[in-house]
Structure 1
Amino acid sequence: MLATGISAAQLGVNFPEEGGAFSWARAFDHDTTGFIAGCGYLGKALVSMSVVGLALTTYLAQAIPGLPQHFVAAVCVLVITGLNVFGIDLTSKIVVGLLAVTVALLAVYSGAALHAVDRAHLGPLLGDHGLPGVLAGAAIFFWSWDGFMRTAIMASEMKDPRRSIPLSIVGGVALAALVFVPVAAVTLGVLGADDLGREDAPLLAAAKHVADWTFWPVLAAAGVAGLGDMVGILLAASRVALAMGKAHEVPRWLAAVHPRFRTPHHAVAALGVASAALVLVFDLRALIETASAFMLVWYLVTHFAALQLPKAKRIASPIFSWYGIAACVALFVSLPVPAVLGAAGALAALIAARWLVRSRAQPAAAS
């Protein structure tokens, strides 16, 4: 993550515009590579919104038996969509506020659960399957780790991007490590690897082993964290769609900007409604690995673009980008083959559709 953050920070500082890896690749005349990255990110966003929404309602269902999970998840997505229309100032304040509440609630849970930790559950360090097992687990959950670089994706809306982007990326990685590594360690220590892997709501399961009252802070943390994550996912994905619309890689309609709020309201609405429809009808949790493959494509293009920077514009050694590429390849290899093939097939189909549209447009333009 840190290597990707460094690559993204360098690019965001030099190209303070929306679109992330899509725009960065195009800046070096790699339009098709940028298109692949943009499609991968939007695909990952659609799956992520569905998965996070269902994760949220899975936790809520522990307190509200019979809860219509898909319907409630769709409603949550639509509410988040409405919030995203009102501009980055409001949504960023909401994200920061929700994050602060999440951290406080997780601190309460972790502190209460310390006495229930069984140290035997924390070893061996690499688990029963060693490094390949660790890589496989990391690859599967990789789809959820892009929040730290969202400021670079929205660079055009950042104040003083040369200062704020590197600070927010490094700070985001550090904060994630300080908060979530201890929470994961405590949960693993309470449940053990086998029980943790069987649970749909592992923190709630661990809380039940600790004390009855810890159920409620964990439930609240899950709800707040889920809402905050959906706000951030849609915030960043809509800016990628905006950039792709401006470049005529997707319908130009998606590039519309609200005259008052200065938000890509068409892109926000399209992604939000599509996500709500998907979560209402399907359970996309089976596509988590495919979403991770999409995310790895985005990261690979980010590192590739960072390597194109001339020496005078770099703020870090290219070693970080090369290390990031090697790590992405290792995670790709660790993903289930069907997930990789599914992502590759979807991107290949989109590339073919792009070529077909362009080939038909050229004769029309010539005439």
Structure 2
Amino acid sequence: MRIGPPWFLLVAPGLGALAGLLYGTLFDVGPLTGAAIRGAIIGMPILLYERRLLAPRLRDRIRALATPLFLIATVALYIGLIVIGNAVASTVLNKLFRFMYSARNAMLMTDTGLLYALGISALVVFVFRVRDLIGPGVFANLLIGRYHRPISEERIFLFLDVMGSTHFADRYGDREAQAYLGQVFNALALPVSRARGSIDDYIGDLALVTWPLDRGLRDAACLRCVFDFEARLAAEAASWRSRFGQVPQFRAALHCGPVVTAEIGLERHKIAYFGDVVNTTARLEALSKTLGVHVLVSADLLDRIGELPDDLIADDLGAHALRGRAEHLAVAAIRRRSSRAAPVVPLSSRAATG
């Protein structure tokens, strides 16, 4: 389960209270205090659900549905949460604040109240569906217009390639391959979310994940994301074998550096990154295949991270020539530390090996 920031436990009822105040103001239903309390109690479970703090597995299953089914299932779930929340709110208002003459009368919900709650819920469903379709980070940045004008920033890029997808397609067909890759990328979503990254694009069997530099460096979040994904695949190995006959394997390459980030497109907006760091990360992903390395990281990124988490170890692979780059790039393989692993070799001083 994803644990949201502590402040969200205050934001969730606050947003619900604002919706309640708006309803109380528009329809003059009585004391605004009661409307705010009712809105907070009704709205909080819905917002906690959307943040995966309530029924996360159910949420993931509903999220995987086609959009029409997703809308129907989500609205139906919201109705249930609204009815339960209204009953709880009514009991609280009656018992603690003496609103209404009886608890039974307090629990009654007017047609106007139900339609208002459903209208707000439908809006929330629509916003979150659009957010899911284009990505949380991209959605937020498009909404606030952060990249309407190009800006220079430093970012971390992860290219994650699903191995053997072409062979899988040859064996089982394109439809089954699409279902397979879809499930792989669905499984990747939670580790990326936990690491506070953003899946910015899917290119065939490759996922492009990015972080602002400071966010990806914090507690080596960009590396933890990769190994969290690996652990999830291993934990669900039986399910993968039962459904697809194999457990997904992948290669990952990570690099960081300056880029120009800009919002492009007129009818279909997209946030794009311009700079050598993107191409270099793609070359590193190709190099990882040549070297037979599971997780390959540039020395530039490792130097920024500093001390690795205790459960990870870096194996210095020297410097390598990359197509399109004049200078060699020092790289390292990252793996989990075993009980017999040797101490980490510092990567600050590396000699080019050609």
TM-score (norm 1): 0.22
Structure of greater Rg? 2
TM-score (norm 2): 0.23
The structure whose RCO (Cα within 8 Å, separation 6+) is larger is: 1
